[in-house]
């Protein structure tokens, strides 16, 4: 049979050159040609340094045209790097070690000062603990021989996501922030922060020396703190501080991991740790940092609090940067502990977190809240795929990261557009938006579908998660629970997304059309086109080629059908029992009640503690 020939994942490796090839050669061919002629190392240094240069440049000369050009170069650089397959590394030297130590000390001092300024003693205490641990590490630990920076496969994907999607978000943010009620310098600083954030991320996904990794990890914390607190309001300040201390916990966990690694005689290089130098306790501590960054369930509050920030910040945090560190870290460390009991415990945590986050999203009343919980759920899925650690599931984790970045960025930017044009944040104020801005809403519908349904990448991730978990189910009864929660979560996510979709259509009277300025619409178009092309290319790769052709044929048929329908049929009004009254729509929130939610929170806390206890026992016994 024809369908029986469709085997899964024959040509995983073929995908990257195809996506990259078509992107690079068709979209921005002349920019890329420049990049091809330069060496890999130059390209990497360009990616690492140019966001900083752009940030400073925009502070000094806020020229929008120049910035757009530079952003296009940056995105093209990410794409060009994605096209290559060679590995690359940069060895460590004495100067850089001291520089890192100096910057670490500076950053921790700044945290103490921030905590002291707002009298938040938790931040101060955490920073103090970090300083003590940091001093211990600097005194005790020699730096040895190893790679400071290392280009891995996952890094290439991350660089594509950060620079490709991130550049579009920054391009959007430049226009978005114009309407903000702050002075011109603040506006420039906002854009500069976003760019600097990209720079930090570009370096972070390459870092191999753990103190550099810690520095960058805490720098993303700092960047998110500054950006969340950008609107100088009570709530913004409180949420920024919450994000700060929660992520500082992650920093403490990383320093703890370094100390434990030292006690057990391991080096300070991540590739060495993964190769077997480090005990499970070290890996577990790194995973704690990942779980906090990824806002996995007991730690979800900082990410939801981040919604008070201007919308491009949410887009940046959710799609291109920050939270994507979590699946990236799991991808790095999964080989070290995937098949241990600890890995099983973490799978369970991630599965439950995914299910509960998608349920919890149903009760949110703001668009950004719904999107936030859906991010948490999909992040858990990414980490889960990374943790299963088969070649196929690793690739699918990366594919999901890419598709999620594009889809979520598109949705957040649309939320930003709605906020700017209609001044609406709550879902009930967004009823019937489809008639007001049909194209934008079509993009939103497409993005929502791309996050759940075939034939988009997020669906393939969901599918291969089920397949991979079923492959490991034999003899492991707890895997049934993980599987069940992934399945339930995917059903709940469909409900969540289509609940959103229903609101966009819910009106009887067509409202005034809203036109968007090109500064808003062009990034949206690029993201939508990118998501669409990536899905078609993904299908066109290898065994799915005929599916792609079938889709194209279907598209042609659909267009013909639209023409036929437009010409051929009379229009009727909707049925309303013969009445002609106007109706108002309301939403469902599908809640089981607060008690159950609270008990779930306790469950997640208990699971987290159990994870730590397990890690300690396993780590000590090693």
Partner 1 sequence: MKWFRQWAQKSPWILHYNAGSCNGCDIEILAALGPDYDLERFGVLNRGNPKQSDIFLVTGPVTYRSRERLVELYTQIPEPKVVVAMGACTATGGVFRGMYNVEDGIDTYIPVDVYIPGCAPSPQLLIDGMAKALEIWVQKSRDIEKPHRLFGGIRKTLHYLDRRTMAQTLAQSKEKEPQ
Partner 2 sequence: MMVWIVLLAPLWGGFILGAERKIRAHMQHRMGPPLLQPFYDMAKLMQKRTTIIHSGHALLALGYFVTLWIAVGVVLLDGNVLWAIFIHLLASVLLVTAGFSVPSIFSHVGANRELLAIVSYEPILLLLGVAWYVSSGSWESGAIALGGTYWTSMPLLGVALLMVVLLKTGKSPFDMAHAHQEIVGGVEVEYSGIFYEVLYMARFLEYIFIYAFVFLWGGVVAVALFFVLANLIDNATARLTPAQTVRWFYALGLPLALLNLLGLVA
Chain residues that interact with partner 2, rule: CB under 8 A: 1-4, 6, 432, 445, 449, 452-454, 459, 463, 466-467, 470, 473-477, 479-480, 483-484, 487-488, 490-492, 494-495, 498-499, 501-502, 505-508, 558, 561-562, 565-566, 569-572, 574-576, 583, 585, 588
Residue 60 lies near partner 1 (rule: CB under 8 A)? no
What is the closest distance, in whole angstroms, from the C-beta atom of residue 3 to partner 2 in the complex? 4
What is the closest distance, in whole angstroms, from the C-beta atom of residue 558 to partner 1 in the complex? 19
Give 181 or 567: the residue with its C-beta nearer to partner 1. Answer: 567
| Beta carbons of 346 and 287 less than 8 angstroms apart | yes
Give 181 or 574: the residue with its C-beta nearer to partner 2. Answer: 574
Give 295 or 458: the residue with its C-beta nearer to partner 2. Answer: 458
What is the closest distance, in whole angstroms, from the C-beta atom of residue 572 to partner 1 in the complex? 7
Identified binder of partner 1 from the candidate list 1, 139, 572, 583, rule CB under 8 A: 572
Report DSSP state, residue 318.
Answer: I
Which one of partner 1, partner 2, none interacts with residue 463, CB within 5 to 8 A by kind?
partner 2
> Which range in 25-33, 227-235, 405-413, 577-585 contacts partner 1 by CB under 8 A?
577-585
Which one of partner 2, partner 1, none interacts with residue 579, CB within 5 to 8 A by kind?
partner 1
* Residue showing tokens 């981040």: 306
Give 94 or 579: the residue with its C-beta nearer to partner 1. Answer: 579
Which one of partner 1, partner 2, none interacts with residue 93, CB within 5 to 8 A by kind?
none
Give 262 or 463: the residue with its C-beta nearer to partner 2. Answer: 463
Task: Report how far residue 277's alpha carbon sits from residue 514's, in angstroms, rounded to the nearest whole number.
Answer: 59
What is the closest distance, in whole angstroms, from the C-beta atom of residue 566 to partner 2 in the complex? 5
Sequence length of the chain is 622
Task: Report how far residue 572's alpha carbon sits from residue 91's, in angstroms, rounded to the nearest whole number.
Answer: 72
Nearest to 209 by CA among 93, 339, 39, 381: 93
Which one of partner 1, partner 2, none interacts with residue 580, CB within 5 to 8 A by kind?
partner 1
**Tokens at 43, concatenated:** 């390209």
Which one of partner 2, partner 1, none interacts with residue 578, CB within 5 to 8 A by kind?
partner 1
* Residue showing tokens 């939320």: 415
Task: Report how far residue 276's alpha carbon sits from residue 261's, in angstroms, rounded to the nearest whole number.
Answer: 11
Nearest to 199 by CA among 78, 84, 49: 49
Q: Which residues of 365-395 are buried (b: 16+ CB within 10 A; e: fewer)?
A: ebbbbbbbbbbbbbbbbbbbbbbbbbebbbb
Exposure of 116 in the CB half-sphere (CA atoms within 13 A): 8
Residue 573 lies near partner 1 (rule: CB under 8 A)? yes
Angstrom distances, CA of residue 284 to CA of 38, 380, 422: 40, 16, 46
Give 3 or 574: the residue with its C-beta nearer to partner 1. Answer: 574
Residues 531-570, mask of contacts with partner 1 (x by CB under 8 A): -------------------------------------xx-
The DSSP result for 189-237, as a single string, is HHHHHHHHHHHHHHHHTTB-BHHHHHHHHHHHHHHHHHHHT-S-SHHHH
| Beta carbons of 407 and 458 less than 8 angstroms apart | yes
Give 181 or 477: the residue with its C-beta nearer to partner 2. Answer: 477
Identified binder of partner 1 from the candidate list 512, 579, 581, 599, rule CB under 8 A: 579
Identified binder of partner 1 from the candidate list 7, 575, 586, 595, rule CB under 8 A: 575
Angstrom distances, CA of residue 390 to CA of 96, 465, 544, 562: 35, 11, 21, 44
Give 512 or 573: the residue with its C-beta nearer to partner 1. Answer: 573
CB atoms within 10 A of CB 516: 16
Residue 580 lies near partner 1 (rule: CB under 8 A)? yes
What is the closest distance, in whole angstroms, from the C-beta atom of residue 435 to partner 1 in the complex? 22
Give 359 or 412: the residue with its C-beta nearer to partner 2. Answer: 359
The DSSP result for 524-540, as a single string, is HHHHHHHHHHHHHHHHH
Give 217 or 460: the residue with its C-beta nearer to partner 2. Answer: 460
What is the closest distance, in whole angstroms, from the C-beta atom of residue 617 to partner 2 in the complex? 25
Sequence-distant (≥ 6) Cβ neighbours of residue 471 within 8 angstroms:
390
Nearest to 8 by CA among 391, 327, 378, 380: 391
> Which range in 209-217, 437-445, 571-579, 604-612 contacts partner 1 by CB under 8 A?
571-579
What is the closest distance, in whole angstroms, from the C-beta atom of residue 585 to partner 1 in the complex? 21
510: left (phi over 0), alpha (psi -120 to 50) or beta: beta
Strand partners, 209: 269
Which residues contribute to the site for partner 1 (CB under 8 A)? 568-569, 572-573, 575, 577-580
């Amino acid at each position: 049979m024809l369908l029986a020939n469709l085997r899964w994942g024959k040509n995983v490796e073929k995908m990257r050159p195809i996506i990259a090839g078509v992107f690079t050669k068709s979209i921005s061919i002349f920019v890329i040609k420049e990049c091809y002629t330069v060496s890999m190392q130059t390209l990497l240094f360009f990616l690492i340094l140019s966001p900083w240069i752009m940030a400073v440049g925009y502070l000094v000369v806020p020229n929008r045209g120049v910035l757009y050009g530079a952003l296009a170069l940056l995105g093209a650089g990410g794409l060009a790097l994605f096209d290559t397959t060679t590995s690359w590394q940069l060895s460590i030297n004495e100067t850089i070690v001291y520089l890192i130590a100096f910057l670490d000390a500076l950053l921790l001092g700044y945290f103490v000062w921030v905590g002291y300024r707002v009298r938040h003693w938790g931040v101060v205490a955490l920073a103090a603990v970090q300083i003590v641990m940091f001093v211990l590490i600097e005194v005790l630990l020699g730096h040895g021989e190893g790679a400071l920076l290392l280009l891995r496969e996952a890094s290439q994907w991350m660089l594509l996501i950060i620079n490709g999607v991130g550049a579009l978000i920054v391009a959007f943010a430049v226009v978005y922030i114009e309407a903000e009620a702050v002075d011109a310098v603040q506006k420039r600083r906002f854009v500069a922060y976003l760019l600097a954030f990209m720079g930090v991320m570009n370096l972070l996904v390459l870092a191999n020396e753990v103190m550099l990794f810690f520095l960058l990890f805490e720098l993303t914390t700092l960047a998110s703190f500054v950006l969340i607190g950008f609107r100088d309001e009570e709530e913004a300040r409180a949420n920024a501080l919450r994000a700060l201390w929660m992520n500082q916990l992650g920093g403490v966990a990383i320093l703890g991991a370094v100390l434990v690694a030292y006690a057990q005689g391991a080096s300070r290089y991540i590739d060495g740790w993964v190769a077997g130098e480090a005990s499970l306790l070290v890996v577990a501590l790194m995973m704690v940092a990942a779980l906090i960054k990824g806002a996995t369930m007991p730690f979800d509050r900082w990410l939801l609090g981040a919604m008070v920030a201007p919308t491009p910040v949410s887009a940046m945090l959710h799609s291109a940067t920050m939270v994507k560190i979590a699946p990236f870290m799991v991808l790095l460390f999964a080989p070290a502990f995937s098949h241990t009991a600890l890995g099983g415990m973490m799978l369970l945590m991630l599965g439950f977190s995914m299910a509960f986050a998608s349920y919890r999203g149903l009760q949110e009343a703001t668009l950004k809240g719904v999107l936030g919980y859906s991010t948490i759920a999909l992040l858990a899925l990414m980490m889960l795929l990374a943790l299963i650690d088969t070649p196929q599931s690793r690739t699918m984790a990366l594919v999901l990261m890419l598709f999620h970045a594009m889809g979520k960025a598109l949705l957040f930017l649309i939320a930003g557009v709605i906020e700017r044009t209609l001044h609406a944040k709550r879902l009930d104020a967004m009823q019937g938006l489809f008639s007001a801005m049909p194209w934008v809403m079509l993009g939103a519908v497409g993005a929502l579908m791309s996050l759940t349904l075939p034939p988009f990448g997020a669906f393939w991730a969901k599918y291969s998660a089920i397949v991979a978990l079923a492959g490991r189910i034999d003899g492991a009864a707890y895997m049934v629970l993980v599987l069940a929660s992934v399945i339930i979560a995917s059903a709940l996510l469909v409900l969540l997304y289509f609940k959103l979709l229903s609101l966009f259509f819910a009106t009887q009277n067509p409202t005034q059309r809203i036109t968007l300025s090109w500064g808003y619409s062009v990034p949206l178009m690029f993201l939508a086109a990118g998501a669409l092309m990536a899905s078609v290319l993904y299908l066109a790769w290898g065994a799915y080629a005929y599916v792609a052709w079938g889709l194209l044929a279907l598209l042609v048929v659909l267009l013909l059908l639209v023409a036929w329908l437009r010409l051929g049929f009379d229009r009727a009004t909707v049925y309303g029992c013969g009445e002609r009254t106007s109706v108002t729509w309301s939403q469902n929130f599908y809640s089981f009640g607060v008690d159950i939610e609270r008990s779930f929170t306790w469950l997640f806390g208990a699971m987290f503690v159990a994870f730590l206890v397990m890690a300690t026992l396993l780590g000590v016994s090693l």
